[in-house]
Amino acid sequence: MNNRKVIFARIGYMHYYSGSQKGDEKPLHGGSYNTEKIGHELYNYKKTKNDLYGYFQPYEPPKNSDNPVTVNLDRIDPTSKNKAYIEKVLVIFVSKRKDYGQVIVGWYDNATVYRQYQPPQKKMFRNDYRYNLNAKIKDSVLLPENYRKYKIPTGKGAIGRANVVYLSEANGAERDLSSSKFKWMEEAIDYIDSYDGSNLLIDVTGDAEKEIEDVIESHKTKQAGQGFRITPELRKNIEDYSVSKAIRYFRKQKYTVKNVGATKSYDLHCSKGSNILRVEVKGTQTTGNSIILTPNEVMNAKKHKTALYLLYSIKVDIVRKKYKLSGGKTKVINPFKINKRKLKVLSYMYTL
C-alpha cells in the first residue's frame, strides 16, 4: 500500500465544481480564503475535452518567507527530487459537508501533480484560476450528494490544520497505515478501490435518482393522509433507521453483516460461510405497497443473489425540532427477483 502514490487534499465544498452557478456559487468551508474570496477549486470538475484541471492549497510558508508555495512532491514519491511534476497519483478530495462533517467528495486517479502552480490556458475554461493537478475524466469520480458520506477524521494524524496529508512523514519515512493512528488512510483508499456507485462526471442522474424518490414518496404520504413531507434530513433519518433495523434482523439470522451503502449499489453485504447475500433496504412512512428502485439497484438484483428488506409504516414525530422515528413493520423478500411486469418506467433520458 505504501508504495502507492496518494495524497488527501482538503478543498472547499461545492456540488459540481464546474464554475459559479446559482445555488453553487463558490466553494464553502475551505478556510479564510474561501470566506473572503473564491477558491481555485471552483473548476476542479470542469470538463475540458477529456481532461480535468484541479487545484488544492498546499502548505503555505510564513508571509515573511521567500520560499514559494509548492507541493511537496518528495513526500508523494521520494524519487521525485527536483522534478517539476509526478504522474500516476491518486488524489482524494476531502471537504466539510454540512451536517455530515469532513467527507470524501471525489478523486482523481492516475493524476499528474505539479510542484508549482500552473497558469491556466484559454482552452481549460478556468478563467484566471490556476491549477496544480491534471487527470483524465475517465479516471476521475465526482460523488453525487447521496454518496458523500464517507467520513475522514480530523485532528492529529488526520486532516487537521494542514490542507494536504501524505503517506509519508516530513523526513521521508513511510507511515504505518496498519497502525491505529493512520489506519483511516488505508480504509479510505480501500473505499475508493471498491466504489461502484454513481459518478456525476459520467451520469448526471446520480443526484436525480434520490430526488425522484423523495418526490414520489412525498406524494404517496400526502395521498395516504399520513406522514411528513420528505426532506434530505428526514430521508437520512429514515435510511439510517431502516438500515439499523435490517442489520439487527440479518444478524439474528446468523449472518455477518457489513453496511456498504456508501460505496455500493445495495445496502448490506451479508455472509454466512460461503453463502453471500446482498440486501437492498427500503424504508417508508407509507404502507409499502410499492417502492422506488434506481437503475443500479435493478441491475444488482438481476445479476446477484439479493434480498429486499422493507420497513414500512414508520412513525415520524418531531420532538424539539428534531425528527423522532419509531415503529415500522418488516417485510423481507428473499430472494428478491425482479419481475419485469411489475416494473414501471417513470421517465427516460434521450440523447440527441
Report the 10 Å Cβ neighbour count for 53: 26
Residue with more model confidence, 246 or 294 = 246
Structural contact between residues 335 and 308, judged by C-beta atoms closer than 8 angstroms: no
- For cell 523526513, the residue is 171
At 102 the pLDDT is: 92
pLDDT > 60? residue 33: no
Structural contact between residues 191 and 260, judged by C-beta atoms closer than 8 angstroms: no
Report the 10 Å Cβ neighbour count for 301: 21
Point out the least confidently predicted range of 94-98, 228-232, 234-238. 228-232
At 136 the pLDDT is: 97
Residue 143 binned pLDDT confidence (cut-offs 50, 70, 90): very high
pLDDT > 80? residue 350: no
148-150-155-158 Cα dihedral, nearest 10 degrees: -110
Peptide linkage before 335 cis (omega within 30 of 0): yes
Report the 10 Å Cβ neighbour count for 162: 13
Q: Whose CA is closest to 152, among 93, 211, 228?
A: 93
pTM: 0.81
Report the 10 Å Cβ neighbour count for 169: 10
Residue 184 binned pLDDT confidence (cut-offs 50, 70, 90): very high
At 34 the pLDDT is: 55
What is the C-alpha to C-alpha distance for residues 216 and 177, in angstroms, rounded to an integer?
44
Maximum distance among all Cα pairs of the chain, rounded to whole angstroms: 71
For residue 351 the three cell numbers come to 440523447
CA distances, 148 to each of 58, 104, 129, 177, 199 (Å): 23, 6, 25, 23, 11
Average pLDDT (322-351) is: 90
Task: Burial-class residue 66 by CB neighbours within 10 Å (0-12, 13-18, 19+).
Answer: exposed
Average pLDDT (192-215) is: 84
For residue 100 the three cell numbers come to 455530515
Task: Share the mean pLDDT of the chain.
Answer: 88
Contacts of 109 (CB under 8 A, 6+ apart): 90, 91, 135, 139, 140, 192
At 125 the pLDDT is: 66
Residue with more model confidence, 138 or 60 = 138
The string over 97-112, giving b where at least 16 C-beta atoms fall within 10 Å of a residue's C-beta and e elsewhere, is beeeebbbbbbbbebb
Which domains are present in the chain? 6-194 (no CATH), 205-342 (3.40.1350)
- For cell 502552480, the residue is 117
What is the C-alpha to C-alpha distance for residues 42 and 44, in angstroms, rounded to an integer?
6
pLDDT > 80? residue 63: no
At 30 the pLDDT is: 61
- Give me the phi and psi of 98, to 5 degrees please: -55, 130
User: Cα angle vertex 109, ends 302, 149, to 5°?
Assistant: 60
